[in-house]
Every structure is written in structure tokens, then in C-alpha cells.
Amino acid sequence: MLDILQTILVTIATLAILVAVHEYGHFWMARRCGVKVLRFSVGFGRPLLTWTDRSGTEFVVAGIPLGGYVKMLDEREAPVPTELQSQAFNRATPKSRIAIAAAGPLANIVLAIFVYWLIFLNGVTGVAPIVAEVEAGSLAARAGIVAGQEFIAVDGTATPTWETLQMQLLERIGEDGDIHLSLKYPDSDLVYESTVALSGWMQGVEEPNPVRELGVTLYRPALLPTLDKIMPDSPAERAGLLSGDVVLAIDGKDVASWSEWVDYVRGIPEQSATLLVDRNGQQRQLQITPERKLDESANAYGYVGVSVAMPEWPKEMQRTVDYGILGAAVAAVDKTWQMSVFTLTSIKKMLTGLLSPKNLSGPITIAKVASSSVQYGFFSWLTFLALLSVSLAVLNLLPIPVLDGGHIVYALFEWLTGKPVAEQVQIWANQLGLVLVVFVMVFALYNDVLRL
């Protein structure tokens, strides 16, 4: 119940920040352009909180936190008194309307840059992408990549961490041609150049994992059977297990890894087992009976309610980059630009069939990722917030009627031709755009449900 409450609260907070910043961009620019704002709303539906400022703008916090809007004075929506007609949105110049429409997405871009600046100012720590295994016959094997080498660049772009390696490889999804990889051994300065020929690489794959598709397994420390959290009122707690216990054997069989312990427990639901554990250097024998649970296919498995103690990465494999105030700002702009281009490229590949549309995510996935990012720490959540802010900006700038990009196209047409787009054409285009947006939202929600 607490997990569900946390997911709801984190999701509401995340969306509220994104929406408030986006709509404030429209609001701020509208006032600068002399357009009267009637209402600034974060959320839809019944108002929960309202107040009015000295300019007569009503500010609203509504009950459905899935969006927001800025309502401006407009003669196309209601009659406007003569003395206020100069403040109507429809009477603003095309350049002013373009500025107002673009200000929302640009505010999200500014938010992303600011958030990335905070992240980089704190310093960025990652893990070096060192090859642990290479699958026989794979792309990596044919390119001559071997265990022990470290990826240092993809297509000339440095890849000091797992994250940067994944991002650079993801940019090549669905493409043909050569991908150039630079590797070296950790204790050497000699760089090995490898070339991998791509042909529709990962085209249509639902959950692309580029490193795995190369045929590479990256090094990670072994998960030992050391217990971390013991769930309350679980079989593990009733058996007397404590955090820090190391499982040595179960039913007389030695346990060398976490996976061996998990596999054995899952195979003995409701069967008593004898454990031998090491506790602070002393061996203890305990009895445990795993609970019976069912997986998605209604198959029974054993559950005891413990989590693994995560091992520490060797210091020589950790990569930390410290930025100054200016350096963090430059890196933040760079990162925002990179994510904007990546988002646009992904949309293009999805439309051309190079990227599976099943990668499209909706509000359920956003909620799950927002909640899990908080569990990994404040800066993990900030990273997710920046990514969402970039996505919201890019999507809103697409030239689709009813989105900000559509309004920009209308105003740009009028600016270039001196004539506004016919009202009936705008009505038809807006209806078509609305149908398209609703279809995409429903499809994204459908993907979310399938992932559940």
C-alpha cells in the first residue's frame, strides 16, 4: 500500500513540475506580448485550489494531474469587449503567436538544462564498460573483441561508462553501415579499433539491449549469497535470518552464488529446508519453509522474503567526472541537445518501422519509472525529470495541430503569406490532430498494460 501511495505522489509531483514549467512559459511570453491570460491551470477537472492575481488571471490547481493549460483572451472562443480586443490572442501578430506557442517547450528545455546542470555540478559517477564475455559467432566476436577489453569510444564519441556506451549504441538502432568501436585494456594505453557491419540492426526489437545484441556481457561483481533486507513477517524473519547473514549451504548443498540460493528456494515451495549460514564469523543452522506463490503463468514457486546485499564495484572500475560551475553548464547544454536529437531520431525511426512502436510508453510506465528512480536517490529522479522535460518539449514542437508545433505552423503560414489559415481548415486539422494524439495516447497506454 505504501509503495502504491509513493508511486502516486511521486508521479503527481513529477508531472506537476513539468506541466507548471511548460504552461508558465506560455503564460510569461503571453504577458510579454500583451496578450491577456484568463486562466493558468495545472491539471484538469474540478479545481482544488484557485486564486486570482491583480491582472485578473485565475490560477487553478485541478484534480486530474495529467496536463494543464493557459487560457488566453480570444475572440474565436467568446465575445471580447472593445476595450480588450487589442489584448486578444487572435489579434496578436504572427511573430507574437509563434513566440507564445514556442515558449512552453522552450521552458521545458530550460528546465532540462538546469536539472542536468545540478546533476553535473554534483559530479557524475559511472562504471567502466569492461567486457566480461563475448558470445561465440556474435558481431563482437567477428569484430575481434575479447574479454578484458574496455569500450572507450563508439563512432569517435567517448564512452567512459555503461550509460554512455548504451546511449551511443542505441543511436544506431535500425541502421545499416559500419559502427566503429574503440577499445583498450585497462592497464594499457594501446587502442584497438574494431568495425562492425550493421544491417537493420535491432530493427523492430521490442526491448533493445544494444550491448547484448553485440554479443557482449559487461563485467559486474559476482552476487554472493549475502542477505540485505529481511521482509517483515516473512519466512526469512520467522526462521531467524538477519541482515548480513551469508548462506553457506541449504539441505547439505553448498551455495556459492546468489542465483544458486534463489533457484533452490524457488524450487521448494512449502517444503522445510535446513540452512547453514555464517553470522559474524560463526556458523549457525536454521530451518526455513518458503511460502508458495504463483508467477504470471500460474506456476508455483518458493518465496522467503530477502534481498541481496549489493557488492561494491572495484575502485579502478569506477569513473568519476567532476565539473566546475561553467563546465557543468556546458555539459548540461550538451546533454539536453543530445537527448533532444535522440528523441527526434527515435520518433523518425518509429514512423519508418526501424524502431518497434511497442517501445512507446504511457502514464503507467512513467509512474513506475518515476517511483523506482526515487528509490535510487534524488539525483536518479532528477535525471528522469530532465529526460521527461526534453521529451515533452520535443513532442510539443512537432507540427501537429492542437500541439504547440501546430500553432507555430499556422502563425508561420500567416507570417509568410500575409493571410491566416482558413478557419474551417484549422477546425478540420485540429480534429485530425486530436484524433492522432488520442490514438497515440491510447496505444501508449495499451503498451503499458501489456508490460504489466
Query: For position 199, what pLDDT does the model report?
Result: 83
How is the chain split into domains, by residue range? 101-123+326-452, 125-221+312-321, 227-308
Stated pTM of the model: 0.80
Q: What is the mean pLDDT of each run of 10 residues along the chain (452 residues)?
A: 71 88 96 94 89 92 85 90 90 95 96 95 88 92 91 92 88 87 90 88 78 90 90 92 93 93 93 94 94 83 91 85 91 94 87 75 64 70 91 93 92 92 88 85 70 58
pLDDT tens per residue across span 165-212: 988 988 888 888 899 999 999 888 899 999 988 888 787 777 788 889
Query: What superfamily does domain 227-308 belong to in CATH?
Result: PDZ domain (2.30.42.10)
pLDDT tens per residue across span 379-418: 888 988 999 999 999 999 999 988 999 999 999 999 999 9
Query: For position 26, what pLDDT does the model report?
Result: 96
Report which of 77, 107, 167 is spatially closest to residue 397, judged by C-alpha positions: 107
Query: For position 182, what pLDDT does the model report?
Result: 94
Write down the catalytic residue from 23, 58, 175, 270.
Answer: 23
CA distances from 448 to 168, 292, 359, 365 (A): 26, 28, 10, 6
**CATH 2.30.42.10 for domain 125-221+312-321:** yes
Query: For position 370, what pLDDT does the model report?
Result: 63
Report which of 187, 188, 290 is spatially closest to residue 237, judged by C-alpha positions: 290
Same fold, 125-221+312-321 and 227-308: yes
Question: Which residues are within 8 A (CB) of 314 and not within 5 positions of it... i.e. 6 or more apart?
Answer: 221
Q: Does 23 participate in catalysis according to the annotation?
A: yes
Query: For position 53, what pLDDT does the model report?
Result: 92
